[in-house]
């Protein structure tokens, strides 16, 4: 094979610590690393419950040069086709894909199927062919048209953490990312696990509690004011 072709086939170098901040999901990490390095585009969708590290996966991929991150509901006025033709990203990261306007979803459909990006904006024609890989996240996928969902060859639906997973994730997040002492971290996570599996609650408490007494007071108050269905009481 001639040298100039070999150059194009060279696999992408990824940082050694990519995804290291994410606790667990070793299988997902392995597959996404393969997708990031694949020669032909492979698109992946992460869907599922809140606080399950979906955005964290995207922000890790965002560390790669030639990636472009956007929020589904906040594409620029110029539009997705313009962004794609301007930046020609190797990796397009879309968080909250379910909030993306239909017009933009149409651009995505074509990009993901054939690589063709075609649009007319302000009487200017846009037409480029890209080999962009799309990595997207959303909570629920009901609002995403079936044909777009189908173009994500790899779909992962993240479920709530089991109690053991929650304790491991929560404690590691508090110690490694929030700088909380290990004993206080596991105390917070144990108490939070009594009423929710939302890691963000652990983070919130960790940011304001200095002692175990503080934790008890906050947890008891949060449990007292826990959401309830008022229709059960007022008919
Ligand atoms: N497995 C995990 N590893 C590391 N941090 C985690 C993990 N799960 C949750 N977190 C922490 O929980 C918080 C929420 O994570 P993230 O924003 O990635 O969730 P999400 O799945 O995108 O949630 P949402 O659907 O609400 O947008 C972050 O602070 C993150 O560090
Ligand atoms: Mg998110």
Residue-wise pLDDT for 132-185, tens only, equals: 999 999 999 998 999 999 999 999 999 999 999 999 999 999 999 999 999 999
Q: How large is the average pLDDT for residues 109-128?
A: 87
Same domain, 185 and 95: no
Mutation test residue for ligand 1: of 19, 45, 53, 166, the one with most atoms within 8 Å of CB: 53
Structural domains of the chain, count: 2
Q: What pLDDT is attached to residue 124? A: 79
Mutation test residue for ligand 1: of 25, 50, 52, 158, the one with most atoms within 8 Å of CB: 52
8, pLDDT greater than 50: no
122, pLDDT greater than 80: no
Q: What pLDDT is attached to residue 12? A: 65
Same domain, 139 and 40: yes
Q: What pLDDT is attached to residue 77? A: 72
Same domain, 99 and 199: no
Q: What is the mean pLDDT of the chain?
A: 92
Same domain, 12 and 93: yes
171 lines ligand 1 (CB under 6 A): no
Same domain, 119 and 211: no
Mutation test residue for ligand 1: of 27, 51, 136, the one with most atoms within 8 Å of CB: 51
Q: How large is the average pLDDT for residues 10-39?
A: 92
167 lines ligand 1 (CB under 6 A): no
In this prediction, what percent of the chain has a pLDDT beyond 70? 93
Taking ligand 2, which is a single-atom ion, which protein residues have CB atoms under 5 Å away?
Answer: 55
Q: What pLDDT is attached to residue 190? A: 98
Q: Which domain holds residue 120?
A: 3-158
Going by their DSSP bridges, the two strands 154-158 and 133-138 should be labelled as unpaired
Q: How large is the average pLDDT for residues 123-139?
A: 92
Q: What pLDDT is attached to residue 43? A: 98
Residue 123 belongs to domain with CATH number:
3.40.50.300
Using the mean position of ligand 2's atoms as its centre, give its distance from the Cα of residue 232 in Å.
32
Same domain, 101 and 128: yes
Residues 79 and 74: their CA atoms lie apart, in Å, by 10
4, pLDDT greater than 70: no
3, pLDDT greater than 50: no
Residue nearest to atom 19 of ligand 1 (CA): 51
Question: Last residue of a domain, which of 158, 185, 214?
Answer: 158
Same domain, 134 and 175: no
Does the residue 145 lie in any domain?
A: yes
Does the residue 229 lie in any domain?
A: no
């Amino acid at each position: 094979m001639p040298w100039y072709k070999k150059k194009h086939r060279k696999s992408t170098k990824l940082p050694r610590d990519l995804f290291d901040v994410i606790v667990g999901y070793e299988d997902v990490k392995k597959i996404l690393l393969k997708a990031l390095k694949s020669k032909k585009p492979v698109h992946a969708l992460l869907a599922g419950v809140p606080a399950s590290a979906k955005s964290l996966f995207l922000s890790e991929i965002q560390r790669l040069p030639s990636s472009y991150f956007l929020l589904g509901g906040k594409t620029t006025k110029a539009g997705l086709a313009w962004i794609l033709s301007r930046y020609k990203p190797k990796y397009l990261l879309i968080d909250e894909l379910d909030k993306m306007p239909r017009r933009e979803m149409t651009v995505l459909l074509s990009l993901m199927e054939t690589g063709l990006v075609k649009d007319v904006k302000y009487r200017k024609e846009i037409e480029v062919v890209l080999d962009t890989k799309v990595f997207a996240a959303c909570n629920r996928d009901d609002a995403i048209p079936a044909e777009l969902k189908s173009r994500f060859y790899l779909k992962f639906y993240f479920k709530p953490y089991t109690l053991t997973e929650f304790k491991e994730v929560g404690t590691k997040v508090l110690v490694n990312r929030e700088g909380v002492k290990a004993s206080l971290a596991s105390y917070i996570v144990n108490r939070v696990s009594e009423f929710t599996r939302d890691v963000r609650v652990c983070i919130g408490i960790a940011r304001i509690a200095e002692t175990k007494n503080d934790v008890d007071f906050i947890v008891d108050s949060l449990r007292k004011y826990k959401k309830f269905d008022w229709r059960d009481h007022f008919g």
